[in-house]
Structure 1
Amino acid sequence: MNEHTALVVGGTSGIGLATARRLRAMGARVHVAGRDKARLDAVAASDPELVRHRADGGDAGEIGAVAEAVGAIDWLVVSLSGGEGAGPIAELDLSALRRAFDAKLFGHLTTVQAVLPRLAPTGSITLIGAISARAAIPGTAGLAAVNGAVEAVVKPLAVELAPIRVNAVSPGLVDTPWWSALPDDAREAYFAQSARALPTGRIATADDVAEAVVLAATNRNITGTVIEADGGARLVSLG
């Protein structure tokens, strides 16, 4: 079996890094790209087998240069996020929401465009959205708009780019650095309250979601699909 090559953009922490580790464990040659030097240095220490690139997913030139350096790519995973866009609509900072669209939606689209010339015809693109796109959680209208936009491109791209497969994974509450802006006690209290409401009774780990990402990326019979790996968050009220 030929070794596959994966590129995980946003692969230096959280779901992206967990995905990179799983793909490497499958025998793939895995490249990770991120813009934060400290995180890249941490990956160099913890996962030296991952090939690291410093690049911004929203910069077509930087990501294009990474793709050229990698060569033929079988599996592209785009795991970009931002910390803005949440809050009650009456008080929502729309300038911050625009930045959130730039960071996530346009970051995803920029990365896909830049890497597309290097994708193998039998390859795949896997995007990371969020269950806020379909849940009814107060204070998440902005997040719903951003993630809904990311997930909305999956079906048309799956047809447009075929036979390249295009999918997304839609996580719910996941214990990742995305929550680091909250004080520890506030985060722990929110997680405990939410876990009691979730059908699964627990907050997901990054590796839980990465397992679904790897399925979407590697299974050649899945395309045009958004996999909901949300612990049932869309089924209950988390307000």
Structure 2
Amino acid sequence: MTAPRFTQKLNGQRVLPIGGTGGVGMAVAQALAEHGAEIILSSSREAKVKRVIDDLASQYAHAKSGISGYTCEGEEVAEDQKVGQVRTIASIPVAKIGIKYIDKARDSSITFTGGSTSERPIAGGFGQCSRSSPRGSTGWGAFDLAAYIRVNVDAPGVIETDLWQGMGDEGKRQFFKQHEASIPTGKVGQPDDLAEAYLYCLRDKNATGIVVDSNSGVFLQWR
């Protein structure tokens, strides 16, 4: 019988998904567990880390021994300031520190999270502009770490997560309806959809310095 060539690429690989305890991050963690990766979760809330570890262990019993997590402590700051700092600043020092502990090999990589609003802004989306910065950093990172570690960016469009809960149920429903009328797929993305983009960046050893757009085709002129 031929040994698996594609489904085992992440088996035994150690992956640290920053913010992997909810929404897209949770979907990525689940995908990693399915592919046999060793997962190290991180979050600012200890109870959340423990809950997600327990959930993953119950869903993927075969991967239980390879799932761990730690709490990232931070200063007490206003919520909006904290969110801005995480999205615009935190990824850079995390990467700078992280490369000291990453094997220098083609199967090692760093994947940032960006956003489609840097290429096509949406009304009322000024608060999302912080997601545009990783697009510029991926080329810099790929050059600086060439021949050692691959660097890529996943850039999602509108994904149905709790990010939009501030709109309220009706506001979110109306926003999604309006957005879906303007995109080729006719449907906002789901966390499971975007998880595939992260898996691709992790698995393709020939991918570096690229931006993977998972955005329902929002860049296309549609209707």
Tell me which interval the TM-score lies in, with the shorter structure as reference length.
Answer: 0.7 to 0.9
> 2:213 is paired with a residue of what secondary structure?
strand
- Measured after TM superposition, the shift of residue 186 of structure 1 is 1.1
Selected match of 2:55 from 17, 35, 46: 46
Matched, 1:148 2:125: no
**Alpha-carbon distance in structure 2 between the residues aligned to 1:104 and 1:33:** 15
- Aligned counterpart, 1:102: 85
Report the residue type matching 2:101 in the other structure. R
Q: Which of 99, 104, 108 lines up with 1:121 in the alignment?
A: 104
- Which residue does 1:218 correspond to in 2? 203
Identity value in percent: 25
TM-score of the superposed pair, with normalisation by structure 2: 0.82
Aligned-residue Cα RMSD (Å) equals 2.2
2:194–2:214 CA contact under 8 A, matched in 1: yes
Q: What TM-score results when the alignment is normalised by the length of structure 1? A: 0.76
1:11 to 17, 20, 42: 20
- Alignment partners' CA distance in 2, 1:236 and 1:139: 20
Of 123, 141, 153, the match for 1:168: 153
Spell out, residue by residue over 1:21-49, the C-alpha distance to the aligned partner (whole angstroms, 9 max, x if none): 11121111111111123422331331123
Identify the match of residue 163 of structure 2 among 175, 178, 183.
Answer: 178
Aligned residue pair count: 200
Determine helix, strand or coil for the equivalent of 1:170.
Answer: strand
Kept in 1, the 8 Å contact 2:46–2:70? The answer is no
| DSSP 3-state at the match of 1:183 | helix
Show structure 1 runs of 5+ residues with no match: 60-82, 85-95
Q: 2:142 maps to which residue?
A: 158
> 1 CA distance for matches of 2:156 and 2:170?
23
